[in-house]
Structure 1
Amino acid sequence: MSPSYHHGNLRRAVMDAAVTAIEESGPSGWSLRELARRAGVSHAAPAHHFGDKAGLLTAIAAEGFDLLSEALTGAGDDLLDLGVAYVRFAVRHRAYFEVMFRPELYRTGDPDLAAARVRTRELLERAVRPLSPDPESALAAWSIAHGFAGLWLSGALPTGAGSDPEAAARPVLAKLFALQIPGEPAPRA
């Protein structure tokens, strides 16, 4: 065995190499063999730890949902702060974000991934519940923050949006979170 095979944490090294590769060329523009080379491990190491590319992307998606849950938890209980934290996560962890919401890339039935997705969804629902017990309200809030993040990452926002995604997101999210649905109590954004 080569000295590079005796890596301290092969699994972590491969995942880090995958995140870097996704940042550079997207979730499809690399191979497991290339990741092994980047990580300085045996070409068999990624397959040993993840099985195949879908297995590796499943682990990345699960870790991404865990990181997003941490980011949302750190934002506190204010819905606006939560929305801005969501955008911040997407920008700072773009590689994870690009994988997490592309279920065709990974194994959606993976128990670790399913648990991580549930934790994230429950955090979002808990933040919206004091404003509206209606489940569609949580989906609407998530859609707004996710849509803004996606528009920012794709460069599709108007040029006047500035260069700070959090500063640009705050007034947009505040405006939309404050809209009142006829017949519903006004939300406290």
Structure 2
Amino acid sequence: MTDQTTIPRHHHGDLRNALIEAGISLLEEGGLDALTLRKCAARAGVSHAAPAHHFDGLAGLRTAIAQEAFDRFAASMTAAAKAEGDSPRARLRGICRGYLEFGLKHRGLLETMFGVPAEDILQEGNGPEDAASYMILRDACAPFVPEGTQPEVIEFQVWSLIHGYTLLFVSGRLGCLAPERIEDGPFEQVMALLDRVGDTTVT
């Protein structure tokens, strides 16, 4: 697909979102290297100077795209959790599945989301716990936090597990080059580690 493919020129007064959608489509097709202000403007069907009225350069556009991507990321985890089952353990596994599914389907967005400084995405004065996607993780981990343990301990264990697996999987570093499905890698075997989340038994 070339840059001649454009979003309709009539943006109903919402050119900013049209430019974000144009940027997302470029990322989905060609990754970070494909995203430029000029290409984004061309894809949206506007002059190359138009993005300057809405974003502080390419970094500003990436931040806006990352914000939108995190919303879609949260929706992916929520939908997968509902499909997995009603028990706390099933919900936790479902969130991890939704995390990986998003990364597998939207590699350019995943790279953008975690390539933009958190302080640029979150509103001033807020911490990571205020992000919708993090709150989804926090709520799913809450049933497994042992008494007297800081919630972040369990949250960071689960986050490190699924985020690390996702990055390794989508990059083909688990012996599955160009994976297209979750089943192309050892997802179930790795996620079996979730069965030990919150287990304080010493063996």
Interval containing the TM-score (normalised by the shorter chain): 0.7 to 0.9
| SS of the residue 1:108 aligns to | helix
Which of 30, 37, 59 is the matching residue for 1:32?
37
Q: CA deviation at 1:161?
A: 10
Q: Does the alignment pair 1:164 with 2:181?
A: yes
2 CA distance for matches of 1:115 and 1:62?
15
What RMSD over aligned residues (CA atoms) do the two structures have, in Å? Answer: 3.1
- Within 5 A, what are the aligned runs for 1:101-180? 101-104=114-117, 108=120, 110-111=122-123, 118-133=131-146, 134-159=151-176, 163-165=180-182, 168=185, 170-179=187-196
Aligned length in residues: 180
Residue 46 of structure 1 corresponds to 51
Q: CA deviation at 1:82?
A: 1.0
Q: 1:150 to 1:184 in 2, by over 3 A?
A: same
Q: CA deviation at 1:169?
A: 5.5
2 CA distance for matches of 1:162 and 1:6?
38
| SS of the residue 2:54 aligns to | helix
User: What is the one-letter code of the residue matched to 1:111?
Assistant: Q
For structure 2, the residue ranges without an aligned partner over 5 or more in a row are 1-7, 83-87
| SS of the residue 2:143 aligns to | coil
Alpha carbons 1:84, 1:166 under 8 Å: kept:
no
Alpha carbons 1:80, 1:170 under 8 Å: kept:
no
- Greater mean alpha carbon deviation, residues 6-15 or residues 126-135: 6-15
- Greater mean alpha carbon deviation, residues 82-91 or residues 20-29: 20-29
For structure 1, the residue ranges without an aligned partner over 5 or more in a row are none
Residue 62 of structure 2 corresponds to 57
Q: Which runs of 4+ in 1 moved over 4 A?
A: 114-117, 160-163
2 CA distance for matches of 1:39 and 1:54?
18
2 CA distance for matches of 1:161 and 1:33?
30
Residue 86 of structure 1 corresponds to 99
Alpha carbons 1:79, 1:127 under 8 Å: kept:
yes
Spell out, residue by residue over 1:28-66, the C-alpha distance to the aligned partner (whole angstroms, 9 max, x if none): 444211211122112122111223111111111111111
Q: CA deviation at 1:7?
A: 3.6
Spell out, residue by residue over 1:102-121, the C-alpha distance to the aligned partner (whole angstroms, 9 max, x if none): 125x8626529x68962211
Q: CA deviation at 1:80?
A: 0.7
